[in-house]
Amino acid sequence: MSESFDLAVIGSGPGGYRAAVLGALRGLNVVIIERGDWGGCCLNRGCVPKKDWYHSARLVAAQRHFRARGLRGELSGDLAQAWQHQRGVVERVRDSYRTYLKHLKVRAVEGHARFIGPEEIAVEGPEGTESLQARHSIIATGAAATVPAPFEPADGRVLTTDMLFDHEPPPGQRVAIIGSGVVATEFAFILRMLGRDVTWLTRSPPLARLGFSPQALSTLREQFALHGIEPQRVPGYASVQLDAEHVHIEVDGGASFEVDWVLLGTGRSPMTEGLGLESIGVQTDRKGFVERDDRLRTAVPNIYAIGDVAGHWMTANHALSDATIAIENILGGERHQDGRFVPMVIYSAVEMARLGLDEDTAEDEDLEPAIGFAAFETSPRALGQDEPEGFVRLIGDLDSGALLGGEIIGSDAGELIHLLSLAPDRATALAWLARGTWNHPARAEEILNATETLASKWNLQDQIFGVSGSD
């Protein structure tokens, strides 16, 4: 007889883990199934180890200010030791992760899950096949690195980011980074600061599709230039050849590059193979993403899909947000997801964070965007940190004063962006910020300054502060 559960979660990445934890905390009997490493990509090969390296990279980058601050000495990056450090962090987090699941009495099953029916899952594990019953299921199987032609993975020579964190990095000094998205933009900075000579090849401008403003992208370019990093635009890749010591990349048009190894930052593809989705009526789109509605339900009403397997955002932030919404809806809620209002954060030569709409999207939705702006260049806290680059840029609705979107560029942007997402609703978010109390000096004060600028410039005092502005 198979064991029965209220909820089965397939995949233990950030979305799957949060869904299992939150479900258990809300009284559900939960099983979580994982065929690979517990913690998924984020913990083992993504955001957790990468942020560990990013912190080291920032320390190295900061040394250009040491002499003026009265600090002596010089820092240099050691990528091999950095790899060992992140490994220790990952193992410690994984241990705490599994301990907490056990504490919550979440059953953890190792093996490959396959749907037999809408409420039945077969798990092929190391000790055979087990059948589980679940009233609800959440698909959280994540995504795998995409390897575009003519590149082919080769140990120590042509690496995906998965491969980079699975094994100690190659010793070669010269590395080519391929891609223009988040992963390539972050690793161009990280590897440069950790002592590698970086050749960054892109087919399009970095981060061109993520909705960051021209001012934000200009700040990124300026910060890259300070560290001798410049993306080189190429029309395409003609061939990739490996010899005994080097990798030779020939691009369309005849130019060629010789490096010691290659890191691919070329995106990820959803992992649905072998789940048996077709047999139960769960549908996927032409790119392989699981189709779902804005309540995260698939075509089978008791089965939900969250995170990278279902959404093109491909961030742990979206997976975590999805998990919360899926659990609320399983418990009878009617909450809708709008992935645009989940923070998107880039950790590179300058930290970049945004959420919500940009001006073009707002106008497409027949809204009237108004801008509030505050630069860190006059912030006492930013100046004291030698990090005055960047700004806060808020987008409000000219008619209602609602927060439509926001962008924070500069140190700790990934922390500050949360202040734009915590208000009870977007209609009152700017008023919530304007009426708050703030520490001084703090970088966060620039959010208040941008809010006040927005209200004053566009005569929105009544909507935001609850008082009428002067005529």
DSSP class per residue in 194-248: TT-EEEEEESS-TTTTS---HHHHHHHHHHHHHTT--EEE-S-EEEEEE-SS-EE
**Other C-beta atoms within 10 Å of 339: how many?**
16
Cis peptide before 206 (omega within 30 of 0): no
Predicted local confidence at residue 466, as pLDDT: 80
Contacts of 206 (CB under 8 A, 6+ apart): 180, 181, 184, 185, 217, 220, 231
Return the CATH number at 392: 3.30.390.30
Q: Are residues 316 and 382 in the same domain?
A: no
Q: Are residues 204 and 238 in the same domain?
A: yes
Report, in this order, helix, strand and coil percent for the chain, each rounded to 5. Answer: 35, 25, 40
Q: Which residues form the catalytic set?
A: 440
Distance CA 403, CA 427 (A): 6
Residue 353: name the closest of 407, 415, 314 by CA: 407
**Other C-beta atoms within 10 Å of 281: how many?**
12
Q: Are residues 82 and 102 in the same domain?
A: yes
- Look at residue 390 and tell me if it is in a domain: yes
Distance CA 271, CA 143 (A): 5
Note the pLDDT tens digit of each residue in 318-350.
999 999 999 999 999 999 999 999 999 999 999
Q: Are residues 319 and 179 in the same domain?
A: no
Amino acid at 244: A
* Residue after which a domain boundary falls, among 266, 284, 303: 266
Predicted local confidence at residue 469, as pLDDT: 44
- Look at residue 152 and tell me if it is in a domain: no
Predicted local confidence at residue 471, as pLDDT: 44
Q: At what angle do helices 14-25 and 79-103 cross, to 10 degrees?
A: 20
Distance CA 72, CA 81 (A): 23
Q: Are residues 367 and 416 in the same domain?
A: yes
By three-state DSSP, how is residue 357 classified? coil
Q: State the 10-residue block means of pLDDT for the chain, 471 residues long.
A: 92 98 98 96 96 98 96 96 97 96 98 98 95 98 96 97 95 97 98 98 95 97 97 97 96 96 96 97 96 98 98 95 98 96 98 97 95 98 98 96 97 98 92 95 98 94 72 44
Return the CATH number at 184: 3.50.50.60
> Could you tell me how many residues make up the chain?
471
Predicted local confidence at residue 290, as pLDDT: 98
Bridge-based pairing of strands 120-125 and 112-117 is antiparallel
Q: Are residues 140 and 277 in the same domain?
A: yes
Burial 41-50 (b: 16+ CB within 10 A, else e): bbbbbbbbbb
- Look at residue 190 and tell me if it is in a domain: yes
DSSP code at position 427? T
Q: Are residues 221 and 282 in the same domain?
A: no
Residue 20: name the closest of 7, 4, 39, 35 by CA: 7
| Chain position carrying tokens 């190295």 | 60
- Look at residue 150 and tell me if it is in a domain: no
Number of structural domains found in the chain: 3
Predicted local confidence at residue 1, as pLDDT: 63
Distance CA 331, CA 304 (A): 13
Q: Are residues 281 and 134 in the same domain?
A: yes
Q: Are residues 283 and 139 in the same domain?
A: yes
- Look at residue 345 and tell me if it is in a domain: no
Give the helix/strand (H/E) hosting 86. Answer: helix 79-103
Q: Are residues 187 and 336 in the same domain?
A: no
- Look at residue 310 and tell me if it is in a domain: yes
Q: Are residues 27 and 136 in the same domain?
A: yes
- Look at residue 470 and tell me if it is in a domain: no
Range of the domain at 237: 158-266
- Look at residue 153 and tell me if it is in a domain: no
* Residue after which a domain boundary falls, among 235, 266, 297: 266
Q: Are residues 136 and 277 in the same domain?
A: yes
* Residue after which a domain boundary falls, among 247, 266, 285: 266
